[in-house]
Amino acid sequence: MLVTLQSREDREPASRRRTKNILIVDDSESVRVATRLVIESCTDFRVCGEASHGVEAINKAQYLNPDVVIMDLAMPEMNGVEAANLLKKRIPKVQIVLFTVYDSISTSSVSAFGVTTVLSKNNGFEPLVDCLNGLPDPA
């Protein structure tokens, strides 16, 4: 699969951009690796860590202080919505992108739990990169 990645360099001067630190949370190692490769190929993003389930994500986020968390929905120990809810309470500024294979989940159904947006893995990585580019820059 070939993904065309576009940074914001054409639209916004470098002096106004700040790199977004991203925590990837997925119980599938292959999904974490693929997501990391895509994100690290973009100049505006940096992967600050990975976790394989919600409990680990909460523990790591407290010391990594990510700007964005890309989180799977179905994971062992704690699912993505439960983890998003706790993360948002502990790190209110964090943006949470639920990246899931379940097409029936809508952003409106999970936004009350701290989820910023929901994207389907079935659509590949390009919508994820577009979403990350569209999130506000960290303060």
Is 2 contained in some domain? Answer: no
pLDDT at 56: 96
21-65, pLDDT tens digit by residue? Answer: 999 999 999 999 999 999 999 878 999 999 999 999 999 999 999
* Alpha helices (H) in 44-96, listed in sequence order: 54-64, 80-90
Residues 6+ apart with CB under 8 A from 59: 51
Kindly state the DSSP code that residue 121 receives in the 8-state scheme: G
For residue 8, tell me if it sits in a domain.
no
| Range 63-76 average pLDDT | 95
Least confident of 4-13, 39-48, 62-71: 4-13
The CA-based dihedral angle spanning residues 45, 50, 56, 59, taken in that order and rounded to the nearest 10 degrees = -40
- CATH code of 82's domain: 3.40.50.2300
Phi, psi of 20 (to 5 degrees): -90, 125
The CA distances from residue 48 to 60, 65, 122, 130, in Å, are: 10, 9, 25, 19
What is the domain count for the chain? 1
Please give the residue range of the domain that contains residue 43. 19-134
- Residue 13 domain-assigned (yes or no): no
pTM value is 0.85
Q: What is the pLDDT of residues 90-119, one digit of tens each?
A: 999 999 999 999 877 766 767 778 898 999
pLDDT confidence tier of residue 126, bands split at 50, 70 and 90: very high
Q: Give the Cβ contact number of residue 107 at 10 Å.
A: 13
pLDDT of residue 6 exceeding 60: no
For residue 106, the model assigns a pLDDT of: 67
- Per-residue pLDDT band for 2 (boundaries 50, 70, 90) equals very low
